[in-house]
């Protein structure tokens, strides 16, 4: 991992990584992800930081609380997985751009 690295440049490199990380946080806040469950009866949206920004429930589900709760769990976890996947692929991009670290 660190075999070919010039450690005297570590401080500078860390600053660059921090700067990139800050930009990514801003970008993530503006991305939006959505997941559906129950063939669209439940839809949950999150921003790229993993904050839930919208929950939409079809009226027909209000008569079936058990199904509603299960479908909510499913859609929330799906959208959080999408967020995590996006976050980790962006982190990989940043690390990749600093060749020595990855």
Q: Reduce the secondary structure of 41-75 to three states and give it as a string.
A: CEEEEEECCCCEEEEEECHHHHHCHHHHHHHHHHH
Report, in Å, the least distance between residue 42 CB and its own copies.
10
Residue closer to its own copies by CB (options 80, 94) is 80
Which residues contribute to the site for its own copies (CB under 8 A)? Answer: 1-2, 7, 10-11, 14, 50-57, 59, 62-63, 65, 68-69, 72-73, 76-77, 80
Q: Which residues pair with 28 in a beta bridge?
A: none
Report, in Å, the least distance between residue 72 CB and its own copies.
5
Phi and psi at residue 65, to the nearest 5°: -60, -40
Report, in Å, the least distance between residue 11 CB and its own copies.
8
Tokens 């999150």 found at? 46
Residue closer to its own copies by CB (options 26, 84) is 84
Q: Using alpha carbons only, give the angle 42, 47, 53 rounded to the nearest 5 degrees.
A: 50
Report, in Å, the least distance between residue 51 CB and its own copies.
6
């Amino acid at each position: 991992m660190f075999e070919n690295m010039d450690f005297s440049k570590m401080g500078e490199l860390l600053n660059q990584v921090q700067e990139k990380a800050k930009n990514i946080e801003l970008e993530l806040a503006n991305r939006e992800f959505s997941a559906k469950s129950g063939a669209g009866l439940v839809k949950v949206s999150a921003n790229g930081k993993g904050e839930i920004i919208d929950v939409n429930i079809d009226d027909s589900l209000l008569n079936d609380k058990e199904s509603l709760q299960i479908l909510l769990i499913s859609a929330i976890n799906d959208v959080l997985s999408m967020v995590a996947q996006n976050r980790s692929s962006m982190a990989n991009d940043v690390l990749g751009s600093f060749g020595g670290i990855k």
